[in-house]
Chains A and B, each alone.
Chain A
Amino acid sequence: MTRTAALQVTTPTDLELMMTRVFDAPLGMVFDALTTPDLMKRWLLGPPGWTMPVCKIDLRVGGKYRYVWQNADGRKMGMGGTFKEIVRPSRIVATEMYEDYWTGGETLVTTALVETRGKTTLSMTVRYASREARDAAIQMGATKGLEASYDRLAELLKA
C-alpha cells in the first residue's frame, strides 16, 4: 500500500530542493486542486493563522499568477511569477518570486504529477539560480521565516 501522509524533502542537486507527496486521488483531480483559485485558497496557506485573500492565475504559457497571504495582524506577503510550461494535467513549470522579502531571488518551480492505481504522486522541485542564491535562501529561511521567525528577528534587532 502506498502511504499518503509522509512528505519527502530532498536536495537532488546543490541548486534544488524537492518535495514529494502521494495523494489518495486521481491525477486530474489533484491538478484541479493545484490550479483552481477557490480550491487553492483553502489549502495553500502556509503556517497556521494565514489566509489567502488574493489568488489570481492565468494558466497558460507566458501567463502570470499572483498570490497574497495575510495573517491575523494584517501583515501581508505577496508572491508571483510566470508560467513557463504547462502540460495538462501532469506538469507545470513556473518562475516564483517573493515580493516583500528576498529569498535568494527568482526560483524556477517544477510541479510534476504521476498517477498509479488511483493515487497521485506530486513532486515539486524548487531550483535556485545559483549556489549563492540558495545559500541566501537558507540564511533567510533560518532568520526570517513567516511566523515565529519574525519574533526572532525582533530579538536580533534588540540585541
Chain B
Amino acid sequence: MISRGREAQRPPRRLEPRPLADPTDWIDRYRRIWEGNYKRLDTVLQELKNKQKKAVDALLEDVKPKPKKRRFK
C-alpha cells in the first residue's frame, strides 16, 4: 500500500535555468581588476627603474676621474 501525505499535494518544483550572464560583464570585470593591478605594477616598475638609475649613477661617479688634490706651496 502506498500512503500519500501532504507532500503529494505540492506543485512540482524544478530549477529554472537562469539566462546566461552577459559575457560583456565578465570581460568588464576582468578589465577592472587588471587595470588596477597593472597601474600598481607601473608604480613598482618606475621604482625599479629609479633604483637602477641610482645604482648606475653611483657606479659612474666611482669611475669618474677625481679632481687632483691641490698641492700647497
Contact = CB atoms under 8 A, between A and B. Distances in A.
Nearest to A22: B38
Interface bracket on A: 20 to 34
A143 interface: yes
Interface residues of B, number: 28
B20 A7 contact: no
Interface string A96-114: 0000000000000000000
B9 to A, nearest CB: 25
B contact face: mostly helix, strand, loop, or mixed: helix
Interface stretch (B27-35, B55-63, B64-72): B27-35
A24 interface: yes
Interface of A: 4, 7, 9, 11, 17, 19, 21, 23-25, 29-30, 32-33, 39, 42-48, 124, 135, 137-139, 141-143, 145-146
12 contacts: A9-B27, A9-B34, A17-B30, A23-B42, A24-B42, A29-B48, A33-B48, A39-B44, A43-B41, A46-B37, A138-B25, A139-B20
